[in-house]
Structure 1
Amino acid sequence: MRVIFMGTPDFSVPALQAIAARHEVVAVYSQPPRAAGRGQKPRPSAVHHAAKALGLPVRTPERLKSPEDQADFAALRADVAVVVAYGLILPQPVLDAPRLGCLNIHASLLPRWRGAAPIHRAVMSGDAETGVAIMQMEAGLDTGPVLAETRTPIGATETTTDLHDRLSQMGAALIAGTLARLPLPATPQAAEGVTYAAKIDKAEARIDWTRPAAQIDRQIRGLSPFPGAWCLIDGERVKLLRSEMATGAGAPGQVLEGFTIACGQGALRITEAQRQGKRPMPASEILRGLTLPTRLD
């Protein structure tokens, strides 16, 4: 089939590669290069890099609202468009242009976690499982009917990074199988169980040790690696990236043993952290160069 691919971050790359191996990708749409790094030079997206490596044409419009951009999109005469974390809202003329419409690879089991941060929210909320859904796109926010889905459990120590990488590969395999079977019947999403995965706010990242250990554990794992849950250790902001439930009790924030911290209920063992200006390190390595106070802020 003639496919338009629309995506931007690392998460989208395996899907692009899987589709390009089986179909004619007539164009790749991605967010424009953004300033990044110390020199703040424009840097193409991960999808842009991957498309160039595959020899595919790349388009990077700031938006798709102009009649000219929409006409250019329609002129590609695509059978279908596949959208994976693209980052722009698609106007109705774009949704209607491909013969089979636009399909979205969404990293949740819809209707749970519609919106911007489904992987983070699934971990932070303590969901037992999540997955990937292939949705027929429509004007509403992730409201379209579902063509296919696949599920996976969320492990007790998994972070957003771990789940992100697994769901990325699952999405690539699922879209490859879905495209091979089009057209498919679509199942409307249930009216019950709708939740919204709001964009992560950096204000959510500071740890409050008076909360139960289970909640802080999910916060740490859900915000790893970005923006990274953090606390102050002798005035230094330290990101806590991995954790596990531990035994012990004490005043909230009290250091019990090693990197085990008492919480409002229960205790938590930090297994990976990152000091300012340093790389992420196992807790044992961090403790060789950092003496913990008796209590963390």
Structure 2
Amino acid sequence: MRLVVMGTAAFTVPSLELLARGPHRVLAVYTQPPRPAGRGHKERRTAVHESALRLGLEVLTPGSLRGVEAQEIFRSHAADLAVVGAYGLLLPRPVLEAPRLGCINLHASLLPRWRGAAPIQRAIMAGDEESGVSIFQMEEGLDTGPVYAMEPVPIGPQTTAGDLHDRLAATAAAMLPGVLEGLEAGTLRAVPQPEQGVIYAHKIRKEEARLDLARDAVELDRQIRAFSPTPGSWCEARGERLLLLEAEPVDGSGEPGTVLERPLTVACGRGALRVTRVQRAGRRPMSAEELQRGFALPPGTRLG
């Protein structure tokens, strides 16, 4: 088949690389435009953009697909199918209807649970025991289309968003050949999503990264794992921001935010967190033991 691939985040890269190896033909890759990033504010290409360049594929970076010109360019590919994953731009009806078989989406949840922008993080924060990948036919609604295939992926007690992202991305790529074969043969049928169980995975807000140590240690552990590696969960320690990268809930009690013991165990509203990996502002990640050799946080210290 003649394919267009549309994606921005690294989640779509394994699928793009698989499709580029054949047997189908990738006509073009759509991704969001380069944007300033980092301390130097240099323009940075998306993960999908970089991958497409390495593969020698044509890359298009429209800021929107709502204009007539952008829609005409998209239509000119004469694609059989568009494969979309973590693209970040809404597809208007003329784009959805342009390919012969429409557009399918690779979504990192078991729909209809966790429709929306941040399904990986929200699943971990909610304490879900599994996530998964859904491949569905796109409609104008947000992740509302009928589903062609689903594959569950377990979430363990130490699973971070980074871990789950990579496993889901690999799962999506592994599912694609069978879905494309069924679509090409006309033998695959989509199943409408149930009306019950719909939950939206709202975009992560910057202020959510700050840890409220008055909360339950179990909930804080989920937050830390959900925001690892990015944006990272943080609290204040001796007047500076301290990222908590890895921790586990343990027994303990005290005024929330109080360091109870070394290497770094912190009282929470209920229970305590034993922090194992941290990062000071402008420094590299390190173990809690290494942190305390040069940045003492003795028992009784209050973190805010």
Do these two structures clear the TM 0.5 threshold for a shared fold by scoring above it? Answer: yes
Q: Deviations over 1:196-224 (max 9, x none)?
A: 00110111111111111111111111111
For residue 294 of structure 2, the aligned residue among 283, 289, 297 is: 289
Inter-partner Cα distance in structure 2 for 1:26 and 1:288: 55
> What is aligned with 1:233?
237
Alignment identity in percent? 58
Secondary structure at the aligned position of 1:113 is classed as strand
Is the contact between residue 109 and residue 131 of structure 1 (CA under 8 Å) also seen in structure 2? yes
The one of 210, 216, 219 aligned to 1:212: 216
Aligned to 1:2: 2
Q: What is aligned with 1:61?
A: 62
Contact 1:157/1:243, CA 8 A, preserved across alignment: no
Distance 1:155 1:52 in 2: 35
Counterpart CA distance in 2 for 1:10 and 1:271 is 27
Deviations 1:85-106 (A, max 9, x none): 1111000000001111100000
Q: Distance in 2 between matches of 1:289 and 1:189?
A: 54
1:263 aligns with 2:264: no
TM-superposed deviation, 1:176: 2.6
User: What CA distance in whole angstroms lies between the structure 2 residues aligned with 1:174 and 1:281?
Assistant: 37
- The letter for the 2-side match of 1:20 is A
Kindly provide the amino acid, as one letter, of the partner of residue 289 in structure 1: G
In structure 2, what is the equivalent of residue 223 of structure 1?
Answer: 227
Question: Shift of residue 283 of structure 1?
Answer: 2.0
- TM-score when normalising by structure 1: 0.97
Structure 1 partner of 2:13: 13
Q: Equivalent residue of 2:150, what SS?
A: strand
TM-score, structure 2 normalization: 0.95
Instruction: Give 5+ residue unaligned stretches, structure 2.
Output: none
**Could you tell me which amino acid in structure 1 is paired with residue 139 of structure 2?**
E
In 2: Cα distance, 1:286 partner to 1:144 partner? 49
8 Å contact kept, 1:126–1:218? yes
The alpha carbon displacement at 1:177 in A equals 2.3
Distance in 2 (alpha carbons) for counterparts of 1:155 and 1:200: 22
- 1:134-283 matched pairs, under 5 angstroms: 134-182=135-183, 183=186, 184-257=188-261, 258-283=263-288
In structure 1, C-alpha distance between the alignment counterparts of 2:181 and 2:276, rounded to whole Å:
43
> Which structure 2 residues correspond to residues 45-84 of structure 1 after superposition, within 5 A?
45-84=46-85
Q: How many residues align?
A: 297
Q: Residue 35 of structure 1 aligns with which residue?
A: 36
Moved more, 255-264 or 117-126: 255-264
CA distance in 2, matches of 1:202, 1:26: 37
Q: CA deviation at 1:46?
A: 1.1
- Following superposition, which runs of at least 4 residues in structure 1 exceed 3 angstroms of deviation? none
Q: What's the CA shift string for 1:112-143, capped at 9, x where partnerless? A: 00000000100111111100100100000000
Partner Cα distance (1:248, 1:39) in 2: 43
Distance in 1 separating the partners of 2:202 and 2:265: 31
Q: Alpha-carbon deviation of 1:57?
A: 0.5
Residue of structure 2 in register with 1:129 after alignment? 130
